Structure 1
Amino acid sequence: MNVGKTLFAQVMEFVPWKTFSRIISRHAGDVGVRTLSCADVFRIMAFSQLTWRESLRDIEVCLTANRAKLFHMGLKSIPARSTLSDALNQRDWRIYHALAQRLIVRAKELYADTPMTVDLDVSVYALDATTIDLCLSLFDWAPFRKTKAAIKLHTLLDLRGAIPAFIHISDGKMHEVNVLDFLPVEAGAFYIMDRGYLDFERLYNLHQVGAFFVTRAKSNMNFRRVYSAPVNKDMGIICDQTICLNGFYKSKEYPEYLRRVRLKDVDTGKTLVFLTNNTTLPATMIAALYKSRWQVELFFKWIKQHLRIKHFLGNSENAVKTQIWCAISTYVLIAIVKKELQLNVSLYTLLQVLSVSVFEKTEISCAFQTDDYISETAPNANQLNLFDF
């Protein structure tokens, strides 16, 4: 029997606590705080994520039931609901945003050699946004529609390991394309986007930085063909064209040539038209790149199903953003644990097991062993048979 650290304590060891302390000091997060420091808030929020707690009462009851194990969590006492609520409203959410960014950097380093569905040696990112609906009467700081509130998670997903490289939280009114104004751009990388990001002036800024983009064209796009490359129609490629934009304003927004690839999906029969500024990759690779964009949709689905961001523990903007950044930090932290310990299980399995065994005292690698142990009785055992006549 393992009498060492609990699974929760072992997971927390992968948090860069020294860096986190510097972040807290930089934002003066613990100045004037007597109970429940910024680090304690993160521990409690990580615990609530891993054990699927959905309210302050859930957290308090669960911690009370495990009072004797609080020391192993790094907590001195059970925080009252009011104390935790005040902490979520008062601790600067930027502290947990900075922690998430530090964990993302570490995760990207670990997953740098992870193969992608598309065989490319450069970075490939998928950009998209998802909306989380809120109640307007409770979250009046996040207007969306006349009778509805919402926030948007604008996410740039690194397709190596499905690690979020950039996340921006805005109110529901912010259009997706505006995130291109402050998106960190890496020269030589590919950015895969849907038609919601089709803004030629912003796409030209990406092009000037040296990055590549792949997006969908709109049906009413005004252009003229400059050159048509030979295509293999057996692969579903209808045309591969070099085009330039017509119109005074559009030609000013994107003054250079674009590449237009038209594809017929053999599975659905739908015709898709892609736009890109890359002129060297085969047309089939351009289509494969756009198809890989669905990984960000799967990421949003996974996040909404397995992280506790549907029910918020506070109504203020600071409380909501603190909970979201702690949820993202927990997701990335589990991804780091999986890679560091070389666990051959999915993130789903990892979270499922942790949700019911965070206080178990066993090695993480042993907790996820899938080999079944079968006890065999020796053939010459001296066990008497009661019914042997």
Structure 2
Amino acid sequence: MDNHTIKMVFKEYIHPLDTKVIQKMIDMEGVDKYVKKLDTIAYIRLFIYAQLKKSENLAVISQSVSRKKTVQRLVGIDSISKSQLSRKNRQIPHEIPEAILRHLIQKVQYTLGPVKAGKALLQLHLIDSSTISMCLSGYEWADFRETKAGIKMHTSIRLCNDTLSLDKMILTPARPADETQLDELIVYQLDVLHVFDRGYFNFAKFDAYSEKGIKFATRIKANTVVHVVEELLVDPSSPITRHAMVTIGNKTSITIDRDNR
């Protein structure tokens, strides 16, 4: 995405977040009690931007803030060091993102109504992985890097009403790519929507899932070649800004695009 598109998408991500509600959650946890600069709201905004930019590490994120006025305006800070970012990562309790997720679920329920929202959320499965680094001398079997060992925890989380429940979890050495476990995490039911990130990007798997009617949503990689076959009508009252029939590789599929990428 170019900078203009990233700015548009960033605002779409931020828009549903009610900062007053989130700030109450933060105050209850006392996370920002002695913070002068990088408060939790700025932290959330910064890492949403970093995810959109696919920033590789904390140093890159720090440089983006220092060098780009646009980032400073979007996030609300003019500079931050990688050590400050690292400390903030350790300080944020898991209850904060969980509370934000519940807040967003409540907004969905308010918008769609409890019955329709409950049915939609029951069919949503979130797939992701987490890597845990370990001492190489003690865990030589956990293949990761030359200087360290590690394991990867692949999970499928079911989102239902305002709660999360673990559907599947697979433990592997850290080195294999995320996509190697995707088949095991997919729920082969036609009414389920799977959501996962670029780590699971695999054209062959996408083709196979599409042929079986398995629904999934992911973000395409920057170098993906997409050919628009037909522009489709969009309901003006819908939040969708673009709906098109496209081809990716040799297969045809429907893509819904909120930001005109």
TM range (shorter): 0.5 to 0.7
Counterparts of 1:138 and 1:293, CA distance in 2: 42
2:153 corresponds in structure 1 to 151
Q: CA deviation at 1:40?
A: 1.1
Indicate yes or no: 2:257 matched with 1:349: yes
2:102 corresponds in structure 1 to 101
1:56 corresponds in structure 2 to 58
Quickly say closer, same or farther: Cα 1:18–1:130, change in 2 above 3 A: closer
Q: CA deviation at 1:146?
A: 5.4
Q: CA deviation at 1:126?
A: 4.1
Structure 2 gaps of 5+ residues are 1-6, 143-149, 172-183, 202-235, 244-254
Any idea what the Cα deviations from partners look like across 1:285-330, whole Å, max 9, x if unmatched?
xxxxx6325533xx23x56458xxxxxxxxxxxxxxxxxxxxxxxx
Q: CA deviation at 1:46?
A: 0.9
Quickly say closer, same or farther: Cα 1:53–1:113, change in 2 above 3 A: same
Higher strand share: 2
Instruction: State the AA in 2 paired with 1:44.
Output: L
Q: What aligned pairs does 1:237-252 form with structure 2 within 5 A after superposition?
A: none
1:364 corresponds in structure 2 to none
Counterparts of 1:80 and 1:102, CA distance in 2: 30
Q: What percentage of aligned pairs have identical amino acids?
A: 13
Counterparts of 2:98 and 2:28, CA distance in 1: 13
Quickly say closer, same or farther: Cα 1:55–1:79, change in 2 above 3 A: same
1:291 corresponds in structure 2 to 189
Q: What aligned pairs does 1:1-389 form with structure 2 within 5 A after superposition?
A: 7=8, 8-9=10-11, 11-66=13-68, 68-111=69-112, 125-126=122-123, 130=127, 132=129, 134=131, 136-137=133-134, 147=142, 148-157=150-159, 166=164, 291-292=189-190, 295-296=193-194, 299-300=195-196, 302=197, 304-305=199-200, 342-345=239-242, 349-350=257-258, 368=260
Q: CA deviation at 1:153?
A: 3.1
Any idea what the Cα deviations from partners look like across 1:71-125, whole Å, max 9, x if unmatched?
5214232111111111111122311221122112213443559999xxxx96673
Q: CA deviation at 1:128?
A: 6.1
2:147 corresponds in structure 1 to none
Counterparts of 1:55 and 1:295, CA distance in 2: 30
Quickly say closer, same or farther: Cα 1:20–1:123, change in 2 above 3 A: closer
Quickly say closer, same or farther: Cα 1:30–1:16, change in 2 above 3 A: same
Q: Secondary structure at the match of 2:31?
A: coil
Judge conservation of contact 1:29–1:95 (CA < 8 Å) in 2.
no
Counterparts of 1:122 and 1:96, CA distance in 2: 23
Higher RCO, 1 or 2 (CA under 8 Å, sep at least 6)? Answer: 1
Judge conservation of contact 2:125–2:192 (CA < 8 Å) in 1.
no
Any idea what the Cα deviations from partners look like across 1:164-205, whole Å, max 9, x if unmatched?
9625599856xxxxxxxxxxxxxxxxxxxxx99xxxxxxxxx
Q: CA deviation at 1:348?
A: 6.5
Quickly say closer, same or farther: Cα 1:136–1:63, change in 2 above 3 A: closer
Counterparts of 2:157 and 2:27, CA distance in 1: 28
Q: Secondary structure at the match of 2:193?
A: helix
2:229 corresponds in structure 1 to none
Counterparts of 1:22 and 1:13, CA distance in 2: 18
Judge conservation of contact 1:127–1:156 (CA < 8 Å) in 2.
yes
Counterparts of 2:135 and 2:170, CA distance in 1: 15
Q: CA deviation at 1:32?
A: 1.7
Higher gyration radius (CA): 1
Q: CA deviation at 1:61?
A: 2.7
Quickly say closer, same or farther: Cα 1:16–1:305, change in 2 above 3 A: farther
1:248 corresponds in structure 2 to none
Counterparts of 1:75 and 1:88, CA distance in 2: 18
Judge conservation of contact 1:131–1:152 (CA < 8 Å) in 2.
yes
Q: Secondary structure at the match of 2:129?
A: strand
Counterparts of 2:62 and 2:122, CA distance in 1: 40
Counterparts of 2:237 and 2:53, CA distance in 1: 22
Judge conservation of contact 2:155–2:170 (CA < 8 Å) in 1.
no
